[in-house]
Chain A
């Protein structure tokens, strides 16, 4: 008997997030750990008239390639990867790892070669999404590895994940639509602003957003969701920022990242753990030193830090910014093989100024702005 939460999860992803239609080629990408959700999705996609194709990763293959492959092998793109990027109408990617630190021992320079080669496919995916040819959602299936990062039991972590997606409610889709309307008003209001300044302990950062588009995220590309984001003006970022949450990326963890920006570019970078990896990522290409995204986390059902970016960046009362590639639909033009979201907690004493005026204090927008 299928777990009813998996059925509901699948229903929201297929009917609401990706709106699968008859004839769509739908990729369901995960590991065997998410098998119950993958099967529920498969059935739902078939019932919606789509053509589901399952892509199950092999645990350990990425490590084998990164540890032992030559440069040509690292950079090689299989016909499957290329074909999937070109042909899919819908992609549902489900994170489900046995070990979220499995690549800690890998040479970061080799990870950079791997990431640079794959960035072509990622760019194609982003272009096709921006052009309306592709709908894709990234989500996560609760696993022991993620529960461990969150310092929770698997049962508690499952509750956390399903609550964050409003899947514990009778009508999750209605709740997402309601949040979506609020975020759309916020995005429209932010669209009238030229410059934001974020001030909190260890942080005083100015970000130009003049002429850029803010995108409300209501569960269609990430699930769970709940943020508004834009692509900052590439040369505008000035000041310093401290990311209070540990930053996981590509199978490892970096702690206490501090960055200083001048003319839009990182000129100084520190971390208490993983600093070498941070520097290697910043050196990946020119765009890796600039912000490609600036965003407000607006999901109040995510109340605690769990060490998983998909959730942490949605946490109500945070902002996040990504080093690297900008999303074309935001008007951002930064190009990079990197896109690394870093989350800054503003729930303590903090302020955000928009064009010189205080609009956000201690994790919340001031009332009646939008």
Chain B
């Protein structure tokens, strides 16, 4: 009788060197994986080539890696056929793992980004609510500095299709956004990091931002709030500075030129008017009902939870994926809903909906009356800041 399955593996095909560089970048730079640390790679089967490179990179770093690969299509089966109890089930070992892990890398890599379009939303919500308990514990440990996490994407036809690109062009887009088309990716990100930290420090002195653009004139108070440099530790690619605005101060109008996507549904040409911090008028050319439903979710859904500058200029187009879109160089995004407590924000909501405003053509931003941003660029380099203090983010 045969007693066990001996899993033998080898690598399919020839590896694109950019895949290995992406893994090395996240292991060494984003997660700073140390010898002896327990590291899990979460992915779907389509991301196998990158999962393997993560595994190799972590072995090289002296860590203890393992992979957790799901199979595309099983979640639909669960949501279609399972009882509520089955949908909400969490295997006991998952709780143990979340306590033992020192680092997790999540690879987003779908074979069909619309696979869940027809599942019952209530059942999906049940599933997400059950998983949230596990996620909350993960984020507690990350916030306490006990664990690191980084999310990235492995290019597939499905993501390329959403972007309206061929897979080969999309691969070039993804890998150049991560700067792994060069052999000095980590050096690049260290430079980006110090520049973003300097920008965040400079913005920290600003009381009010006024955003001007086509059909847009919005005043956002950021007084007393901290700006955070998103420099590739939590996301790869990265490249933004963000904060949470003063909750009752937003005034004026904004028009979002890019479609805003929430849970796979697109709302086009959103216009919002704010008074005293809250949305008082909202309309969209397409998806207007959905927009209004989401604004009714709770009280905090009408209030901005985030204001941010997208500063990754390798990302030069809208690709229907928030990992990239919110970092498009020359854009701003302002999210309705929950705020970041580490930035000093206090807005609470079930919603956090990033909407992206393209300022690359006509946009201007004033800080306390002074023009600081024009046509998608800050006008002045900030004074170099002291070396980035990682601890503030992880403390």
Which A residues have a C-beta under 8 Å from some C-beta of B? 25, 29, 31-32, 35, 38-39, 42-43, 46-47, 49, 51-65, 68-70, 73, 76, 78-84, 86-87, 93-95, 97-100, 102-103, 122, 125-126, 138, 215, 217, 221-222, 227, 229, 249-251, 293, 295, 309-310, 313, 325, 327, 339, 341
CB of A31 within 8 A of CB of B10, answer no
Complex Cα gap A217–B3 (Å): 13
Closest A residue, CB atoms, query B57 = A64
Asked whether B17 is an interface residue with its Cβ less than 8 Å from the other chain, the reply is: no
Q: A42 contacts B11, CB within 8 Å? A: no
Q: Is the CB of B5 within 8 A of A102?
A: no
Q: A32-B71, A80-B93 are known contacts. Are A60 and B11 too (CB-CB below 8 A)? A: yes
Residues of A close to B93: CB separation below 8 A? 79-80, 82-84, 86-87
B120 at interface, CB cutoff 8 A:
no
Q: Give how many A-B residue pairs fall within 8 Å (CB-CB).
A: 175
**B81/A57 in contact, CB under 8 A:** no
B3 contacts A58, CB within 8 Å?
no
Across the interface, which residues of A come within 8 angstroms of B2, CB to CB?
A: 138, 222, 309-310, 313, 341
Q: Pull 28 A–B residue pairs with CB atoms less than 8 Å apart, ordered by A.
A: A35-B45, A49-B83, A51-B89, A56-B70, A59-B12, A60-B11, A61-B9, A61-B52, A61-B67, A64-B56, A65-B55, A78-B38, A78-B66, A79-B38, A79-B93, A79-B100, A79-B101, A83-B97, A86-B93, A93-B5, A94-B5, A97-B7, A98-B9, A99-B10, A102-B9, A122-B4, A217-B1, A222-B2
Question: From DSSP, what is the main secondary structure of chain A's interface residues?
Answer: mixed
Which residue of the partner chain, among B40, B48, B60, contacts A59 with CB atoms under 8 Å? B48
CA distance A56 to B92 in the complex (A): 19
Bound state CA distance, A46 and B40, in angstroms?
26
Of A54, A78, A94, A122, chain B has the most CB atoms within 10 Å of the CB of A78
Whether A60 pairs with B81 at a CB distance below 8 angstroms is: no
Taking a contact as CB atoms closer than 8 A, the residue among B45, B59, B86, B96 that contacts A83 in the complex is B96
Task: Judge if B212 is at the interface, Cβ distance under 8 Å.
Answer: no
What is the CA–CA distance of A79 and B74 in the complex, to the nearest angstrom?
A: 23
Q: Is B218 an interface residue (CB 8 A)?
A: no
Residues of B bordering A, CB below 8 Å:
1-12, 38, 40, 45, 48, 51-52, 55-56, 59-60, 62, 64, 66-74, 77-78, 81-83, 86, 89, 91-94, 96-97, 100-101
Chain A residue numbers with a CB within 8 Å of B48 are 32, 58-59
Closest A residue by C-beta to B10: A102
B205 to chain A, nearest CB (A): 46
Question: Considering the chains assembled together, what is the distance between the CA atoms of A94 and B4 in angstroms?
Answer: 10
Nearest residue in B to A78 (C-beta to C-beta)? B66
Query: Which residue in A46, A62, A78, A227 is a CB contact (below 8 Å) of B81?
Result: A46
- Chain B residues, CB < 8 A from A102: 8-10
Which residue of the partner chain A has the closest CB to B50? A58
Q: Given the complex, which residues of B lie within 8 Å of A43, measured CB to CB?
A: 77, 81
Q: B73 contacts which of A39, A61, A70, A83 (Cβ < 8 Å)?
A: A39
Kindly state the separation between the CA atoms of A105 and B78 in the bound complex, as whole angstroms: 41
**Interface core residue of B8, B69, B74, B89 (most chain A CB under 10 Å):** B8
Given A39-B74, A59-B52, A84-B93, decide whether A93 and B9 contact each other with a Cβ distance below 8 A. Answer: no
